[in-house]
Amino acid sequence: MKGYMANLITAKNIVKRYSGHTALDDVSMNVPEGCIYGLLGPNGAGKTSMIRIINQITGPDSGEVYFADEKLAPKHTEQIGYLPEERGLYKKMKVGEQALYLAQLKGMNVHEAKAKLKEWFIKFEIKEWWEKKVEELSKGMAQKVQFIVTVLHQPRLLILDEPFSGFDPINVELIKSELLRMRKEGTTIILSSHNMASVEEMCNYITLINHSKAVLEGGVSDLRHSYKQHLWEVLFHGDTGTFKGALGNKFELVELKEEANNNVARVKIKEGTTSNELLKDILPVASINGFSEILPSMNDIFIAAVNGKMTTLNKA
Amino acid sequence: MSKIGLIIQREYLSRVRKKSFFIITILGPLLFGAITILPTALAMSHNEHHRIVVVDETYSFCGILTNTSAVKYDYRYCSMDSAQVKHLFKDSEKVSVLFIPKKLEETNQLLLFSKQNPGEDVVTSIEREMNTILERSKMKAANLDQKIIDQVKTSIKISNIVNNKITNTTYSMALGYMSALLIYVFIFFCSVQVMRGVMEEKTNRIVEVIISSVKPFQLMMGKVIGVGLVGLTQFLLWITASFIIFSIGTKAIQKQVTSVNTPTVKTVTTGTSVVQQQNENNSMNVGMDRNKTLDYLMSVDESLRSTNWFVVVGSFLFFFLGGYMLYSSLFAAIGSAVDQEADSQQFMLPVTAPLIVSIIVMGKIIEDPHGTIAFWFSMFPLTSPIAMMARIPFGIPYWQVGLSMVILVASIFLAIWIAGRIYRVGLLMYGKKITYKELGKWLFYK
């Protein structure tokens, strides 16, 4: 059995130019097998270009892509499931017929595909739509069909480009839970999004792309720790003045809010001190209701990385 | 099944199962049959004769003018005053008053009065009839024997022998026109279908899913082949159905002709009086009209049988498929480059121009199938499928056909290469106004 950390996708120094602009400028990324991998960055950063290269829809101008240590080749398309950002179906075709067609294009035989499709259609509660034409489907139902045909052939690698944009909230939850289940079963999943909050909770690894360049790559928890500001949040009862006084010079009060039940303070721990020391100093003056470290969100990290404010850029 | 096979299957079935395919399949041969049969049938079924009321001052033509399919003579007012008769019929439709003046032999002039213009057919038919009668009476007056008169009548027919084979030029022309037109229609309709199909996939945004499973080139070729097969199916269905309709039609007309001819024979054996002779002439004439029709149909039938179908059908299929491959791949490229059909016009025009030009010059090509225009049009690949097909029934040197085919095949490969390059870029290009310069760049993208 392969180790968790073996890479399913290795992209080395990818360059992709279109007339007038460079979509990817020397981007490398390593997608460990069995993880959910986030490809994050603002619109137009080059995420879709990268995804299309992995899907062999376009080729890079230079650089190489490996699929489980083999050079990426047409035969690998059957091990990949792809849900593009702009997704559609043949409007005039019947739902079941169309799903079968797309499954066969991914190399499944008719009987296998039919059996699997039936299961999925029951699971997603769209069984009675099999004989309907796609144009009769609601948008939410078409989304379910699109998702099913993407995962039906049980791909080793699943690539979803902006998966949660345009999906209705119920479908988003449905799909999120399916994705987590599939990861558990060993599927590697690449998600792209410009909305980092929507995917960071699911991702184990990410690459941040900005202006055609990879800005950051690494494990999500590693990155959050390496970008942490040593900020702690303290919920307490007690006089805010005495609290401030207790902090002294060793700690910096970043923010203090007086709320109905609690006072909420954000405290930065200066170098040479620890959270335990902070706790020791404030225990005498306040009754502590909560004490936790604040880790930066992916969004914070992105902004920090892009602006170059953080010097501790630590590639994991 | 291979992936390209799957694509071909989908393209084929999704079109063949459409209602419109069924309707066109039924209507096509009916239309085709109607076009071949109808003119003949119409010519035969002059149910509504034009009535010619004869007023004859010479008293020598009453009762002896022969009715034809177009004209029926009425002698009841023969000796009445012309002004009176004219007044009588001044408001009648489909009736004319033919006034034969006393001085006919000097002036050679008749007058025909009608409310509405009776038409060329009626006028010439009367002229012909009068000429025949006057010529005969003049010859009789000159004491010529009827036998000699009959012998004098001559009708020359040319047997056109080309390379020791009897050739029917009219028939070659018809065959040339028909096959060239068919190719034109099929290339146009099928290629536009390919373009629409490409645009449908692009605007429905399904294309990205598909080209993540197959190569864009496979998708393009699958579509081109699938739609081509639909065209071929339709064509074969049409041809079969048209042949059936044609042979049924011919048989029906033959039957009708025989039944009309029978009474003529009877009259000949019994007829002696003038009136009966008239009748005889009458039905003979109608019989001859019908015989001509029959002759025509028989000659077509014979020509159909004597045609080298192997060459005609073989080259038809070759140029049909070749022309289709060439045009449809270019149309596929156009479909991929644009977002809406309206935008496709600027690219379609230069591609379809040669097709339309070759239809315009087809008359010239058929008039002079071995001339310079015919030669060059049948070599240039964008016009050769139509131009060559128009020439082939006239017997073209094999080297020319061969050369034209080689050029066409080479061009197909070039067109498919160009189309494939444009196609794979164009498919994923949205919301951008495409120029020729842009298309040129796409050719060299990686």
Residues of B in contact with A101 (CB under 8 A): 6, 10
Indicate yes or no: CB of B208 within 8 angstroms of CB of A84. Answer: yes
Q: Which pLDDT belongs to residue A313?
A: 41
Any residues with CB less than 8 A from the CB of B7 and at least 6 apart, and which?
A105, B214, B218, B219, B222, B223, B226
Q: Which pLDDT belongs to residue B280?
A: 45
The DSSP-derived string for B156-207 is: ----EEETTEEE-HHHHHHHHHHHHHHHHHHHHHHHHHHHHHHHHHHHHT-H
Q: Which pLDDT belongs to residue B141?
A: 83
pLDDT in tens, A255-284: 888 887 788 999 988 888 888 888 888 888
Comparing CB atoms, the residue among B6, B201, B212 nearest residue A104 is B6
Residue of A nearest to B5 (CA): A105
Indicate yes or no: CB of B201 within 8 angstroms of CB of A90. Answer: yes
**Residues A268 and A277 sit within 8 Å (Cβ to Cβ):** no
Q: Which pLDDT belongs to residue B289?
A: 54
Confidence of residue A66 (pLDDT cuts 50, 70, 90): very high
Indicate yes or no: CB of A57 within 8 angstroms of CB of B206. Answer: no
Q: What letter represents residue B116's amino acid?
A: Q
Average pLDDT over residues B296-306: 61
> pLDDT > 90: what percent of chain A?
36
**Cα B186 → chain centroid:** 15
d(CA B252, CA A92): 44
Domain parsing of chain A, residue ranges: 7-225, 229-294
Structure tokens, B428: 């994923």
Indicate yes or no: CB of B446 within 8 angstroms of CB of A74. Answer: no
Q: Which pLDDT belongs to residue B306?
A: 60
Indicate yes or no: CB of A84 within 8 angstroms of CB of B205. Answer: yes
Residues of B in contact with A149 (CB under 8 A): 209
Residues of B in contact with A86 (CB under 8 A): 205, 208, 430
Tell whether the model's pLDDT for residue A114 goes beyond 90.
Answer: yes
Select the more confidently predicted residue: B375 or A19: B375
Report the C-alpha dihedral over residues A199, A204, A205, A206, rounded to 10 degrees.
10
Indicate yes or no: CB of A57 within 8 angstroms of CB of B208. Answer: yes
Helix (H), strand (E) at residue B393: none
**Residues B12 and B229 sit within 8 Å (Cβ to Cβ):** yes
Indicate yes or no: CB of A92 within 8 angstroms of CB of B14. Answer: yes
Q: Which pLDDT belongs to residue B268?
A: 38
pLDDT in tens, A219-249: 888 888 888 888 899 998 888 888 888 888 8
Indicate yes or no: CB of A84 within 8 angstroms of CB of B209. Answer: yes
Tell whether the model's pLDDT for residue B362 goes beyond 80.
Answer: yes
Comparing CB atoms, the residue among B10, B14, B208 nearest residue A86 is B208
Structure tokens, B25: 């399949």
Q: Which pLDDT belongs to residue B170?
A: 74
Residues of B in contact with A88 (CB under 8 A): 204-206, 209
Kind of pairing between the strands at A251-258 and A263-269: antiparallel
Kind of pairing between the strands at A263-269 and A231-237: antiparallel
Indicate yes or no: CB of A102 within 8 angstroms of CB of B213. Answer: yes
CATH number of A7-225: 3.40.50.261, 3.40.50.1370, 3.40.50.300, 3.60.10.10? 3.40.50.300
Tell whether the model's pLDDT for residue B270 goes beyond 50.
Answer: no
Residue B104, CB-side half-sphere exposure with 13 Å CA sphere: 19
Residues of B in contact with A102 (CB under 8 A): 209-210, 213
Least confident stretch, A170-184, B73-87, B253-267, B274-288: B274-288
CA angle B286, B287, B290 (to 5 degrees): 90
CA angle B109, B111, B115 (to 5 degrees): 160
Q: What residues does A29 pair with on adjacent strands?
A: A11
d(CA B16, CA B233): 9
Report the C-alpha dihedral over residues B291, B294, B299, B304, rounded to 10 degrees.
180
Residues of B in contact with A83 (CB under 8 A): 209
| Angstroms from B228 CA to nearest CA on chain A | 20
| Angstroms from B323 CA to nearest CA on chain A | 28
Helix (H), strand (E) at residue B93: none
Least confident stretch, A13-22, B179-188, B249-258, B325-334: B249-258
Highest mean pLDDT among A244-248, B52-56, B268-272, B382-386: B382-386
CB pairs under 8 A between A and B: 71
**Cα dist. A162→A48, A86, B159 in Å?**
9, 9, 77
Which CATH number is A229-294 given? 3.30.70.60
Q: Which pLDDT belongs to residue B402?
A: 92
Tell me which residues of chain A have a C-beta less than 8 Å from any C-beta of chain B.
18-19, 52, 55-61, 74, 77-78, 80, 82-84, 86-93, 101-102, 104-106, 146, 149-150
The greatest distance separating any two alpha carbons of chain B, rounded to the nearest whole angstrom, comes to: 96
> What is the pTM for the complete model shown?
0.74
Tell me which residues of chain B have a C-beta less than 8 Å from any C-beta of chain A.
1, 3, 6-7, 10, 14, 200-201, 204-206, 208-216, 424, 428, 430, 438, 441, 445-446
Residues of B in contact with A105 (CB under 8 A): 3, 6-7, 210, 213-214
Q: Which pLDDT belongs to residue B302?
A: 60
User: Which residue ranges form the domains of chain B, and what is each CATH number?
Assistant: 3-38+172-263+304-442 (no CATH), 50-152 (3.40.190.10)
Residues of A in contact with B428 (CB under 8 A): 52, 57-58
Sheet of B50-56: strands edge to edge? B71-74, B50-56, B95-100, B111-114
pLDDT in tens, A284-306: 888 888 999 888 888 888 888 87
Highest mean pLDDT among B21-35, B55-69, B409-423: B409-423
Q: What is the phi/psi pair of residue A281, to 5°? A: -75, -35
Residues of B in contact with A74 (CB under 8 A): 215
pLDDT in tens, B1-39: 688 999 999 999 999 988 888 888 888 777 766 776 676
Average pLDDT over residues B306-322: 81
Indicate yes or no: CB of B205 within 8 angstroms of CB of A52. Answer: no
d(CA B26, CA B124): 40
Confidence of residue B271 (pLDDT cuts 50, 70, 90): very low
Confidence of residue B279 (pLDDT cuts 50, 70, 90): very low
Structure tokens, A101: 């067609």
Least confident stretch, A63-67, A185-189, B275-279, B331-335: B275-279
> pLDDT > 90: what percent of chain B?
20
Comparing CB atoms, the residue among A55, A80, A91 nearest residue B204 is A91
**Residues A177 and A164 sit within 8 Å (Cβ to Cβ):** no
Residues of B in contact with A77 (CB under 8 A): 212-214
Indicate yes or no: CB of B213 within 8 angstroms of CB of A106. Answer: yes
Q: Which pLDDT belongs to residue A255?
A: 86
pLDDT in tens, B115-144: 888 888 888 888 888 888 888 888 888 887
Q: Which pLDDT belongs to residue B95?
A: 86
CA angle A196, A197, A202 (to 5 degrees): 90
Report the C-alpha dihedral over residues A82, A83, A85, A88, rounded to 10 degrees.
120
d(CA B251, CA B294): 10
Comparing CB atoms, the residue among A57, A83, A93 nearest residue B14 is A93
Residues of B in contact with A133 (CB under 8 A): none
Indicate yes or no: CB of B205 within 8 angstroms of CB of A86. Answer: yes
Tell whether the model's pLDDT for residue A4 goes beyond 60.
Answer: no
Q: Which pLDDT belongs to residue B310?
A: 76
User: pLDDT averaged over chain A?
Assistant: 86
Average pLDDT over residues A209-215: 89
Confidence of residue B89 (pLDDT cuts 50, 70, 90): confident
Q: Which pLDDT belongs to residue B168?
A: 66
d(CA B116, CA B91): 9
**Residues A183 and A34 sit within 8 Å (Cβ to Cβ):** yes
User: pLDDT averaged over chain B?
Assistant: 80
The DSSP-derived string for B233-262 is: HHHHHHHHHHHHHHHHHHHHHHHHHHHHHH
